[in-house]
A = this chain, B = another copy of it.
């Protein structure tokens, strides 16, 4: 972890110099991380300048989905690795025109466990949990829910069809993470997206116009 932390700190220094914030988006396979970004791109690009780093084990599908929306995106492939490492992030971040960005969002490999343990130079981790996964996940994977600076409960349009107890889930979350905002969103209906975008913009800390 020594070398990883050194690279993570290098990245944070680099980002600080250019006044760019970086988020590390973590969730299970299929939690809806890419779909959330797809929904965010258009609304977000009216307010701030941002780029996405797509982390995957194999395939460039996710980066291609975002590139189709004219999102500035780079694909990182771990070649089997279960999480992104700080060194690969550092190299990718340096290729972005940081001077013109407010925010970098890293979509980590689909995995609720290992990515929670590795600092990649982000300012905050954000966890995405879909309602189809069950309300017990904050109890069973506490590390990421404890560390997250924001929590997204996704696919809430499916609530009528799944045995997910939203109130209990929120209680489980509050027991281990009393303060992080929780966004209940559906990319199908658009519900909760505005609140999520507002948080991203406020987290980025400055608008496009302020920076230029």
Residues of chain A touching chain B, judged by Cβ–Cβ distance below 8 Å, are 28-30, 56-59, 61, 80, 82, 109-114, 117, 130, 132-134, 136-137, 139-143, 155, 157-158, 161-162
Further 8 A-B residue pairs, CB within 8 A, beyond A28-B110, A58-B139: A29-B112, A57-B113, A61-B136, A82-B113, A110-B141, A114-B114, A158-B162, A161-B161
Main secondary structure of the interface of A (DSSP, over half): loop
| A190–B66 CA distance with the chains assembled, in angstroms | 38
- Given the known inter-chain contacts A132-B132, A158-B132, please indicate yes or no for A59 contacting B140, CB distance below 8 A: yes
Given known pairs A82-B113, A112-B111, the reply for A134 and B30 (CB within 8 Å) is yes
Which B residues are CB-close (under 8 A) to A158? 132, 158, 161-162
**Are B133 and A30 interface neighbours, CB within 8 A?**
yes
Distance in angstroms between the alpha carbons of A117 and B109 in the assembled complex = 16
**Least CB distance, A200 to chain B, in whole angstroms:** 23
CA distance A29 to B141 in the complex (A): 9
Contact in complex: B109, A110 (CB < 8 Å): no
A159 to B130, CA, bound (A): 16
Q: Assess whether B30 is in contact with A137, with CB atoms less than 8 Å apart.
A: yes
Determine the residue in chain B with the shortest Cβ distance to A82. Answer: B113
- How far does the alpha carbon of A162 sit from the alpha carbon of B82 in the complex, in Å? 26
> Of all chain B residues, which has the CB nearest A160?
B161
Q: In the complex, what residues of B have CB within 8 A of residue A110's CB?
A: 28, 112-113, 140-141
Task: Provide the bound-state CA to CA distance between A113 and B133, in Å.
Answer: 17
CB distance from A77 to the nearest CB of B (A): 10
The 5 closest A-B pairs by CB, nearest first: A30-B133, A132-B132, A82-B113, A28-B29, A28-B28
Q: List, in ascending order, chain B residues with CB within 8 A of A155's CB.
A: 132
What are 5 pairs between A and B in contact, CB < 8 Å? A29-B137, A57-B140, A57-B141, A59-B136, A82-B82
A142 surroundings in chain B (CB, below 8 A): 57-58
